Amino acid sequence: MKISDEIIADLMELKKDTSASSYEKIKNILKFQRIPIAFSEFRPPKLIRYRRHNNGERFFYNIDELSYPKDVSKIKNFGRANEPGQGFFYCNDNKNQSTGMSEAMSIFRGKKESKEEILTIGAWNLLENLRLAMILPSKENVGIHKEFDEMKKFYNEYEDSKEYADLINLNEFLANEFTLDVEKDKSNYKITCAYSNYIKDQFPKVDGIIYASIKSEFEGTNIVLWPEVVEKKVEFFAARKRLIKRVSENTFIETQTFDNTGFDKATGEIFWK
């Protein structure tokens, strides 16, 4: 048995463990691994983020409501990358707007009976390039993204190393964790959270991660930025409210849109018609 198989077995046992200490044990296992990370310089024209209207809000009136959550005391559960009590900025680039929508719409998050979706999309300009760690393809999604496949060649540099087989095996396992559907089991987030925080802690020059979206069948990508990066490198640009209605089992159409008329940069207030 390879050393990585033993590590993976331990991680899987801890993933099923419901005790409060299991997550910290997962983090400690990863902390003492040597996991090379592939990076990409990234600067799309815009970053976008969808927010679903869950509580009957007519509009969102402040930029903070569309950005990453700042009141971390309200974050009780694991996200794909964030721990409880940790606010990360989940977003997409402007080429992946359909991916962002599929990630936000409740019908794709277990609410199959949904007839109408009310979403607000926020758009941000980038002030500097982003340096993102790429969660490389697993066997599930290899061949779909050329950029990801190219970055996977990064690991070929380690091919002559005696640890190469273990390195590839562990990377494949971690990549596969990012392809799991959380709606089936919320414990699926424990290892991806630990790995995201491993990247954040071990590679301080990295701004966040980029990974393939399971909601778009791996054709789109999601981005996660650390909050301090958002404060430094991202600037709010505009917002749009969208009303989307279901017209058949698998078809939704946009019935209304509302664009903001401006915003106050100092206070963060968003103005609507």
Q: What is the mean pLDDT of residues 248-270?
A: 90
Per-residue buried b or exposed e for 207-239, using 16+ beta carbons within 10 Å of the residue's own CB: bbbbbbbbbbebebbbbbbbbebbeebbebebb
Q: What is the mean pLDDT of residues 134-153?
A: 70
Tell me which amino acid residue 230 is: V
Answer whether residue 268 shows pLDDT above 80: yes
- Which pairing describes strands 234-248 and 221-225: parallel, antiparallel, or unpaired? unpaired
**Going by C-beta distance under 8 Å and a sequence separation of 6 or more, which residues neighbour residue 249?**
none
Q: What is the mean pLDDT of residues 44-51?
A: 94
Q: Which residue has the higher pLDDT, 155 or 266?
A: 266
pLDDT tens string 155-199: 667 667 777 788 888 988 998 898 887 665 667 799 999 999 999
Answer whether residue 141 shows pLDDT above 70: no
Distance CA 258, CA 272 (A): 8
How far is C-alpha 25 from the geometric centre of its chain's CA atoms?
Answer: 23
Entry field: residues in the chain: 273
Q: pLDDT grade, residue 252 (50/70/90)?
A: confident
Q: Percent of the chain at pLDDT above 70? A: 83
Selection from 40, 41, 38, 42 nearest residue 153 by Cα: 38
Identify whether the C-beta of residue 72 lies closer than 8 Å to the C-beta of residue 82: no
Q: Which residue has the higher pLDDT, 2 or 256?
A: 256
Q: How far is CA 148 from CA 39, 49, 130, 216, in A?
A: 10, 22, 16, 16
DSSP H helical segments within the chain, as ranges?
3-16, 22-31, 63-66, 97-104, 146-152, 164-177, 189-202, 227-233
pLDDT tens string 15-42: 999 998 999 999 999 999 988 888 889 9
Q: What is the pTM of this model?
A: 0.88
Q: What is the mean pLDDT of the chain?
A: 87
pLDDT tens string 77-91: 999 999 999 999 999
pLDDT tens string 200-236: 999 999 999 998 876 655 567 889 999 999 999 999 9
Q: What is the mean pLDDT of residues 253-259?
A: 91
